[in-house]
């Protein structure tokens, strides 16, 4: 398997080591795109949407190696959203107390029903808040991704051929990631 196959094709199978290498590559690239979006230009946010497809491809092949459907990636995605939300809520007041105070002020407007003040506050402070939140968002992204990657790498591999193909390392091209 080559890098293009690992990152851009949802078909076939990959073992735990290839999965982790591809996952780490994607996670690093996605993190750089998110930093580019905050500190350089919102265009990086649009570019980073392509990473979603690559994550689907890597996880689908890993699930195929375990004899499962790639659609189970949706459970990984749901788990990521839950874990990332919890980790962000825990880390926000610790890593970026200024951003936490700003969020609390915003939600105060929202909870009081003063939507015009909430909107004005957010428009006025959007770039400040985005930059202030970046340490917390990076930390929560990395921690949540580590959990997701660990679970994906620990899936048991099917030692025999299954409906998704032969076991990785047999019957095909050399493995670029090995």
pLDDT of residue 170: 61
Residues in Cβ contact with 7 at an 8 Å cutoff, skipping those fewer than 6 apart = 22, 25, 26, 54, 57, 58
pTM of the model: 0.82
Q: Has residue 56 been placed in a domain?
A: yes
What number is the average pLDDT over the span 77-103? 94
pLDDT of residue 45: 86
Q: Has residue 162 been placed in a domain?
A: no
User: What is the pLDDT confidence band of residue 1, given thresholds at 50, 70 and 90?
Assistant: very low
pLDDT of residue 138: 93
What number is the average pLDDT over the span 133-151? 94
pLDDT of residue 171: 53
User: What is the pLDDT confidence band of residue 173, given thresholds at 50, 70 and 90?
Assistant: very low
Count structural domains, the chain: 1
How far is the C-alpha of 142 from the C-alpha of 148, rounded, in Å? 10
Count the Cβ atoms, other than its own, within 10 Å of residue 176: 14
Q: Has residue 57 been placed in a domain?
A: yes
CA 117 to mean position of chain CA atoms: 33
69 neighbors 61 (Cβ within 8 angstroms): no
pLDDT (tens digit, 9 = 90+) per residue, 111-134? 999 999 999 999 999 889 888 999
Give the residues across from 162 on adjacent strands: 165
For 137, the domain range is 3-153
Q: Has residue 62 been placed in a domain?
A: yes
Q: Has residue 158 been placed in a domain?
A: no
Q: Has residue 174 been placed in a domain?
A: no
Looking at the chain, the whole-number percentage of residues with pLDDT higher than 70 is 94
> What is the rounded (10 degree) CA torsion for 20, 24, 27, 31?
170
Distance between the two ends of the chain, CA-based, in angstroms? Answer: 9
Q: Has residue 52 been placed in a domain?
A: yes
């Amino acid at each position: 398997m080559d890098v293009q196959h690992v990152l851009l094709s949802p078909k076939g199978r990959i073992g735990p080591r290839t999965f982790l290498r591809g996952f780490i590559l994607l996670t690093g690239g996605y993190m750089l795109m998110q930093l580019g979006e905050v500190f350089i230009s919102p265009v990086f946010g649009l570019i980073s949407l392509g990473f979603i497809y690559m994550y689907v491809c890597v996880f689908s092949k890993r699930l195929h190696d375990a004899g499962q459907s790639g659609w189970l990636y949706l459970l990984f995605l749901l788990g990521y959203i839950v874990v990332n939300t919890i980790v962000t809520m825990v880390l926000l007041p610790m890593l970026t107390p200024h951003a936490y105070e700003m969020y609390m002020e915003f939600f105060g407007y929202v909870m009081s029903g003063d939507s015009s003040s909430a909107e004005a506050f957010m428009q006025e402070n959007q770039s400040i808040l985005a930059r202030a939140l970046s340490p917390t968002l990076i930390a929560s992204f990395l921690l949540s991704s580590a959990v997701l990657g660990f679970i994906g790498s620990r899936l048991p591999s099917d030692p025999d051929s299954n409906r998704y193909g032969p076991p990785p390392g047999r019957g095909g091209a050399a493995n670029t990631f090995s």
